[in-house]
Amino acid sequence: MLLQPPQDSRASAAVILFAGGDGGIEISADGHIKRGGNFLVRSRALFAAQGLAVAVIDAPSDRQSPRYLDIFRQTPEHVADIKAVIAWLRQELKLPVWLIGTSRGTQSAAYAAVQLPQAEGGGADGVVLTSSILADRRERPVPEMALDRIQVPVLVVHHRQDSCRSCLYADLPWLTRKLTHLKKNETLIFDGGINQGDACGPRAYHGFNGIEAEVIDKIATWIKGN
């Protein structure tokens, strides 16, 4: 885990960032991130600039090789790791803690929220799902999870032009309908930016390339308002 304090030293909340893909970002002992191109990972300073304390999650020490978090995100062991990070941040920073996932990172964030549905039970104070996995042949997509168990605010963030086959905008209503039981839930849709490389890659519309500051601003505003 890499912890980045807010720029003004007066944090309003702490956020735990879950990268997409295989989830392995290879944080070195000196804090260098070897695989840092993911939307959330490369935008961590933007979250800090918004007055949020930022924890970036890597694969655990016993999974620091290819496959990393693949076929691990929806396991009791992964949930236990996330619960421990939430507890540590609450203990050290005395702040509410939010989970933010992007792409396959939404499978980590959403599953942890399902298994730990209340902050009082060791779960997070809220969840943000960006470029959510809506279809998946390998692991359960987010809408297939027991989202009705979640009792904390949930923000869904998606790009209208996302053409990743697992995250198509046309499939988004399947997810948002599953969250209507919540008193606090919202969906933010973005357009534009720069579309480069693989449709499911971090520099495509899927990764909010070119509009990171706008997206992070809206996410941070929503977190601080809830």
Domain limits for position 87: 2-224
- pLDDT one-digit tens code per residue, 114-136: 999 999 999 999 999 999 999 99
The pLDDT of residue 13 is above 70: yes
Give the pLDDT score at 32. Answer: 85
Rounded distance between C-alpha atoms, residue 221 and residue 30, angstroms: 31
Q: Report residue 40: phi and psi, to 5°.
A: -70, -40
Q: Could you give the residue ranges of the DSSP H alpha helices within the chain? A: 39-42, 44-49, 76-93, 105-115, 172-176, 212-224
* DSSP bridge pairs for 33: 27
Domain tally for the chain? 1
Predicted TM-score (pTM) of the model is 0.95
pLDDT digits (tens, 9 = 90+) for 162-210: 999 999 999 999 999 999 999 999 999 999 999 999 999 999 999 999 9
Here the CATH number for the domain that contains residue 95 is 3.40.50.1820
